[in-house]
Structure 1
């Protein structure tokens, strides 16, 4: 076996390792949801405390993503990937042994922080390891497929583990996966980072943006309970604006900013982040309200509910892994992303026609296959567009940005659409199948409108000529396959 063959295998096995780590990050956003009633009984916790078991993870994850991405660029992507894995694994282990709800919430914060370091580091490793074109399209297709399947897999695993092994295993399931990943890091992943002379850390920028993102996610989580027009919501929102304004001022004056604001001059990156916000704002509420419809209207139990979501996830995974890469290579990322947004909107609008006496086949499976196909066509072009035109030394920043966009979008979408739903439900004095369905379908129809906005952003902000240029680059890469020495032109330290 030649050196080139070994190099090739190492890179693609490394991709499997990175995707496995990303899988547990996405999984943990949903796997604990099904275990909430059991956890409440175990600790005698009220609903507010249980909400924070879920929200603490989202809050830390969304708040620290940009910091995690920049640390990967400065301190080494493999190194920060390992740090994130260790934090995530230790928090998962300790969380399962938690003796109180407060300790469990604290471990979820550490899990979220570990995920915020791990995820952008892993994604930036992909962007600097795989050559722009066919290779990177395939790599991001696998990455997107794992992300699309992880959420629903969490619902299924959460139900099975809680019922047959105990709620602790929704956390402990991460430990052997983390251990396996740690053993394979050094053999499969090379270290890459910026030159030592460039390693300057923007502490003021890191503090202001992390505070701004954390307060933003916290406000979105709590706004439905506070009331969107309440003094607390308005005051908290004003604080977010002030912190972001301070962050922009700091970054403009910083010699080595945490976020080089000139990166937003790259239209594909800017459009991808706007579209990523929309995508996050659709995926999280879609799975949330589908679960509620299946359990509260169709009266399925938790495990059956999870299984009902499997067909949609299989379609998402399959299309992302196969068609997603091939279509981006042939057509470019803009038309594929636009097609995905359109299909996702159709699927959501179809969910919006669900009936109180509906059936799984008509009201869940059929629209789910359409929405799943849309998701499968969204993730790959989204990540490709977010990385196109980005210098290798800002790969971690670009990865942190697209991950942050999706997390903020998820929190915003769930908060807004939950308000729409509960406003409808409050109009009905009795929670019947009819009133519940009315509320859930209102959320789905609202999400379909948001998908339309995502489609508009895709065709207006992302330039078609940039997308065509990516196709041309991919065609050239077919005839000129770079050698292992030229595939990664960034310094290795």
Structure 2
């Protein structure tokens, strides 16, 4: 008798799918969008907030840096809290805390209050972001459904920054900079209520071992030193003694953290999480890709507003093709192919396509055609990154034990946050150096000083974008060489290696 879907008996070892999983995905995606867009939404509002609250030029970067430091520094701790305390509870508390911090920022009466609220937003973001990703991994156990869910999540993770630019432009131009904070409150409350009533976290997946306090202290201080080092390099230069001291401190603290984690009984970051070549490949390639993307957001925003004279709203809309490309790449290409081909065959070509799009942008000049140059470049960038992000997000929790789910999810967010801080500082410094050199070499022959400054600015952008092309190609190389797991629906017999065994166990262990 042929085996049909009707006659095949269900496998008792595979848990039944959670009936509320798609509703839960909507609330998890909403929370992820809020966290990601908050990294860029304030950028456009910053000049207005600075003028309104009397923030000095020297301190204005702290509006961005305070968020990045708290978020990047506390992510591993947040992931461990989710494993210990429960992912649903951590997620809801993180959302409510984020809403309260946003209300504080929107009502800020001075510089200290605004900076404090940004640090609080980062801290609560570090709680809810890893909880969101690990909840998704726990609730979607079927390989095809998992691919679709992570496709949606990947598109939001990749495109949320550009959505932030659009929303930031609208709110700043038509309402007030304070609304870039207040807008988070309905997002957070709707997501928290939805999560509370809809999400059912599987029992028995918590890690109740004691909290690794030395690990928490060393990892937080190490990551804060690293992120602040790159931020300071952007404003004070790479040879600044304080910048060098921060990098040395970060290296020492993170080395001490790795040593402690190899010795303690219940480590904050079990080294098995990062030692796996597939997960390690994801964290590394994703971090590099984010370095390239964050730099690009910054340069294109400045190019469109300063060089081409676009308004904040028009600038935001100019990023729409990239968002469309990311959504298409994630949900139509990545999600459809993920159960048919190995993840490296999506990630490698995806990063290469993004690099080709980036390569087009090295041709930017004053008056470059948006339709002829920027539009096709954005579409390629979006399609490439969307296709690569989706399997990367899913692979980040590849073969992980349920007790490590929060920490593995936190590592994805950590690679994104640290990558974003490095990208902004590194590429901005390269651009500034190239701009200065161009002005120095052309000052004697330039007739129009204003035109010279704009040409120098564009020269700086294109010089840095060349570096971004190289960084994306490096991400593609790492993805193809390090990641060796088979497709998620592969059977152990067909795929043959450790990766296939983990993939075949998706319904049981992929949390």
Instruction: Please say whether Structure 1 and Structure 2 have the same fold, judged by a TM-score greater than 0.5.
Output: yes
Match in the other structure for 1:267:
277
Q: CA deviation at 1:398?
A: 0.7
CA distance in structure 2 between the partners assigned to 1:401 and 1:134 by the alignment? 24
Matched, 1:80 2:98: no
Match in the other structure for 1:68:
78
Task: Give yes or no for contact 1:298–1:359 (8 Å, CA) kept in 2.
Answer: no
CA distance in structure 1 between the partners assigned to 2:326 and 2:207 by the alignment? 43
Q: How does 1:194-233 map to 2 (within 5 A)?
A: 198-233=208-243
CA distance in structure 2 between the partners assigned to 1:442 and 1:340 by the alignment? 23
Match in the other structure for 1:331:
341
CA distance in structure 2 between the partners assigned to 1:196 and 1:307 by the alignment? 43
Which runs of 5 or more residues in structure 1 are unaligned?
1-5, 477-485
Match in the other structure for 2:66:
56
CA distance in structure 1 between the partners assigned to 2:406 and 2:207 by the alignment? 18
Matched, 1:438 2:459: yes
CA distance in structure 2 between the partners assigned to 1:435 and 1:474 by the alignment? 57
Match in the other structure for 2:250:
240
Match in the other structure for 1:383:
393
Match in the other structure for 2:490:
472
CA distance in structure 2 between the partners assigned to 1:196 and 1:487 by the alignment? 18
CA distance 1:487–1:249, change in 2 (3 Å): closer
Match in the other structure for 1:126:
136
CA distance 1:462–1:156, change in 2 (3 Å): same
Task: Give yes or no for contact 2:92–2:196 (8 Å, CA) kept in 1.
Answer: no
Question: Aligned match of 1:459 in 477, 480, 490?
Answer: 480
Q: CA deviation at 1:199?
A: 2.7
Question: Aligned match of 1:135 in 117, 120, 145?
Answer: 145
Q: More displaced, 337-346 or 327-336?
A: 327-336
Match in the other structure for 1:319:
329
CA distance in structure 2 between the partners assigned to 1:54 and 1:31 by the alignment? 10
Q: CA deviation at 1:7?
A: 6.4
CA distance in structure 2 between the partners assigned to 1:46 and 1:453 by the alignment? 38
Task: Please identify which structure carries the higher helix content.
Answer: 1
Compute the RMSD of aligned alpha carbons. Answer: 2.2
CA distance in structure 2 between the partners assigned to 1:474 and 1:445 by the alignment? 42
Misfit runs of 4+, over 4 Å: 6-9, 192-197, 473-476, 486-490
Number of residues of Structure 1 aligned to a counterpart in Structure 2: 476
CA distance 1:473–1:52, change in 2 (3 Å): farther
Instruction: Give TM-score, length-normalised by structure 1.
Output: 0.92
CA distance in structure 1 between the partners assigned to 2:255 and 2:298 by the alignment? 33
Match in the other structure for 1:426:
436
Q: Please list the CA deviations of residues 96-126 of structure 1 after superposition, one character each: whole Å capped at 9, or x if unmatched.
A: 1110011001000000111111000010011
Q: CA deviation at 1:279?
A: 1.5
Q: More displaced, 255-264 or 428-437?
A: 428-437
Match in the other structure for 2:299:
289
Q: CA deviation at 1:132?
A: 5.2
Q: CA deviation at 1:304?
A: 0.8
Instruction: Give TM-score, length-normalised by structure 2.
Output: 0.89
Q: Please list the CA deviations of residues 178-227 of structure 1 after superposition, one character each: whole Å capped at 9, or x if unmatched.
A: 11112212221123576778431101101100110011111111112222
Q: CA deviation at 1:171?
A: 0.5
